[in-house]
Amino acid sequence: MSEDSLEIGGLKLASRLFTGTGKYADDAVIPAVCEASGSEVITVALRRVDLESTTGNVMDCIPKHMRLLPNTSGARNADEAVRIARLAKAMGCGDWIKIEVISDNRYLLPDGYETAKATEILAKEGFTVLPYVNADLYIARSLVDAGAAAVMPLGAPIGTNRGLKTKEMVRILIEEIDLPIVVDAGIGRPSEACEAMEMGADAVLVNTAIATASDPVMMARAFGRAVKAGREAYLSGPGARRTQASASSPLTGFLAEG
């Protein structure tokens, strides 16, 4: 296959699987997870980063070649997200930022309005902004206007492992939005990641499903392969699906005669 890279914020990525750093029993497994998955982008919650730590720091476990995607987890409104993003940059985490604004701790659903506000401010400041939102066309359009570099719709609420529950809405975003669509949250199985890719998502982000597997490294490898398989299936243009078998003797066959 000829080169099929994903471009975000001017950066070409060969892997379409993004991974995370949260929820691991031991951060020391992260390098092996990165390697097995082939992922090149890794998200890290700034709230957990502790550069002065005497007990180890998650940043030390992230391989140098990875593109760091700090996230604003913990932010309850646009203002907090903007401040966290600036802190991340000041700490040397680069200028990519995943906006997460959550003001409902019961379901952890993202606040689209506040996310769009933060996106606009940070995009103007030169950040490459990847906002995490509900799979909603209007929010996605407002993010395009706000200068987002990609849109990250959720597949299902965080921590549910329920899979691609928002499939139809994600499909609309894939069709309508001219930015990379990265399905984030909810994906619990490699088959679900594959399905998202197969329908044309540009990438998926998987954290919980890998971090909480009994063997995170093997699961990371499985996700890496599933994402590739889904992408190839999408590029190969699968045949149309039929709901009924084609009739062997077509009802309009007589028209072709003569």
- Cα–Cα distance, 110 to 93 (Å, whole number): 23
- Cα–Cα distance, 139 to 135 (Å, whole number): 8
Q: Is 19 one of the binding residues for another protein (CB under 8 A)?
A: no
Which residues does 49 contact at the CB level (< 8 Å), separation at least 6? 57, 58, 59, 70, 91, 93
Token pair 């078998």 is at which residue? 245
In this chain, which stretch among 2-10, 123-131, 205-213, 239-247 interacts with another protein, using CB under 8 A?
205-213
Q: Site for another protein (CB under 8 A): which residue of 11, 27, 95, 233? A: 27
Q: Site for another protein (CB under 8 A): which residue of 208, 222, 223, 227? A: 208
Token pair 């206007």 is at which residue? 145
Q: Site for another protein (CB under 8 A): which residue of 4, 7, 50, 176? A: 50
Catalytically annotated residue among 23, 64, 89, 98: 98
Task: Provide the token pair at 247.
Answer: 């009739």
Query: Within 90-119, which residues bind another protein (CB under 8 A)?
Result: 103-108
In sequence order, the β-bridge partners of residue 45 are 71
- Binding site for 1-deoxy-D-xylulose 5-phosphate: which residues? 159, 185-186, 207-208
- Cα–Cα distance, 208 to 153 (Å, whole number): 16
- Cα–Cα distance, 247 to 163 (Å, whole number): 35
Annotation says 98 is catalytic? yes
Q: Site for another protein (CB under 8 A): which residue of 94, 147, 159, 200? A: 159
Residues that bind another protein (CB under 8 A): 22-27, 46-50, 52-55, 74, 76, 80, 83-84, 87, 103-108, 159-161, 208, 211-212
